[in-house]
A = this chain, B = another copy of it.
């Protein structure tokens, strides 16, 4: 079997990057990191992924074993690749309907949460600062916060009747959700006490070894919330 060294191009506070860091950690696949300031032009990134979007995973065969270099762009492609190439620890459920449910929930973050929450709340609170885009727009932040409440209520309703977000087993859906919420939690935007099932689930997610690197992430000039690193909060 070919063994690979891995390079992950990512930004620590990009939710799609977090999902893949968590998944690689959970699958016990080691990787080197290249941190990318995605809002700045970068020819290396455009050559790797013409869309400029993150994360990007490059797998290089280790000398003696041969094989092809793999270049896998963005989280959907990376998730499927990791599952096909490293099935020992599975992150898509075995049951057809649970697998579809996990993929539906991963899509929820891409086609709904990113639009309704991140494009407003995270954009105003973080991106504008990174990009030098001026002061946050308060009504936009407020609209993002309101939308976030609906999403948190929805996750709470799922976790009231399920052990994990998509059903009976941990899946990419849990890492997608935890990656997203962990960023908002850094900015103290999640009122955990209102969502007891979600809070319990997040405590469990946070205590997994794959989560540790994320809890050490820091944004220059923006301190994390007091409980960001606490496993018991």
Contact = CB atoms under 8 A, between A and B. Distances in A.
Interface in A36-63: 49-51, 53
B74 A97 contact: no
Interface in A100-122: 100, 103-104, 106-108, 110-112
Give the interface size bracket for A toward B.
20 to 34
A110 B110 contact: yes
A96 interface: yes
B103 A77 contact: yes
Interface stretch (A64-72, A176-184, A196-204): A64-72
A86 interface: no
Contacts of A22: none
A233 interface: no
Contact of A103 (B51, B80, B97, B110): B80
DSSP class of A's interface residues: helix, strand, loop or mixed? helix
Contacts of A96: 68, 70, 81, 84-85
Nearest to A119: B115
Given A70-B97, A70-B100, A97-B71, A112 B77 contact: no
A103 B57 CA distance: 14
B111 A51 contact: yes
A53 B111 CA distance: 9
Contacts of A97: 68, 70-71
A100 B76 contact: no
Given A51-B108, A51-B111, A111-B51, A100 B85 contact: no
Contacts of A106: 76
A73 interface: yes
